[in-house]
Amino acid sequence: MVEANFLGITGLALVDAINPCALAVLFMVLLVLLLQDPNKKNRVLVGGISFTLAIYIGYLIYGLIIVTLFTSMATFFKNISVYIYNGFAILAMLIGALQIKDFFYYKKGSIGTEMPLFMRPKVKKTINNITSVKGTFLIGLFVTLFLLPCTIGPYIVASGLLSQLGTFGALPWLLYYNLIFILPMLIIILLVYFGISRIQELEGWKERNIKKLHLISGILLFLVGISLLLGWI
């Protein structure tokens, strides 16, 4: 059980971790912090970590809510639990297929894989309202709501699988999942802070490779779905 959870949850978390829209939001935050005072790079470090911590806490709360919801539902659907499990596997495959589709036919704001276009101006306006490093935490909590449309798919699958452990049993796994989810954000913050790379360079790399990121996410998610369906994990 532990090994199965580790493989499945790790795979789903990795898919979320390389999500282009989550990285794009981080780039906007770091750029705002840097432009406000280019001579104080510690704003990028402290503000970026504060923002990332807010994302971590926000998603942890969402995960606990989803797991609790699924756990409550399990009481009423005991006799069809196998079908529900297979349903999560199929959902993972469907979302994976959407991600792979974006490699061959990419369109900004695609349903299920990216943040809808109508939300993007609101997110940008919200982030531009950052006036202090402390403010990045509150902004981060609020922005998680806008990130949900493009990141919630794998998280729902993971939370559904963990619901069989109960809310408290799922908590360590959710902590682990979200640690993987924010890991690329922390790496980006450190790269910018230590001057190894500029924000514009990282953002440019993301834009040039966005189709490949979708493809990698899609393949990982599809493989996780097949593995779940066949009982390999």
The reported pTM is 0.91
Q: Which amino acid is at 122?
A: K
What one-character DSSP code corresponds to residue 196? S
Rounded (5°) CA angle 20-155-72:
160
Residue spans of beta strands (DSSP E) within the chain: none
Q: pLDDT tens, position by position, for the chain (233 residues)?
A: 454 478 889 999 999 998 888 889 999 999 998 888 777 788 889 999 999 999 999 999 999 999 999 888 766 666 666 777 888 899 999 999 999 999 999 988 887 788 888 888 989 888 988 878 778 999 999 999 989 888 888 999 999 889 888 899 999 999 999 999 999 999 999 999 998 888 889 999 999 999 999 999 999 999 999 988 887 77
User: What DSSP element (H or E) covers 42?
Assistant: helix 42-76
Using a CB cutoff of 8 Å and minimum separation of 24, what contacts does 200-205 make? 202/27, 203/24, 203/27
Do the Cβ atoms of 200 and 188 come closer than 8 Å? Answer: no
Could you state, in order of their start, the residue ranges of all structural domains in the chain?
A: 2-230
Q: Which of 51, 227, 207, 212 is nearest to 141 (CA)?
A: 51
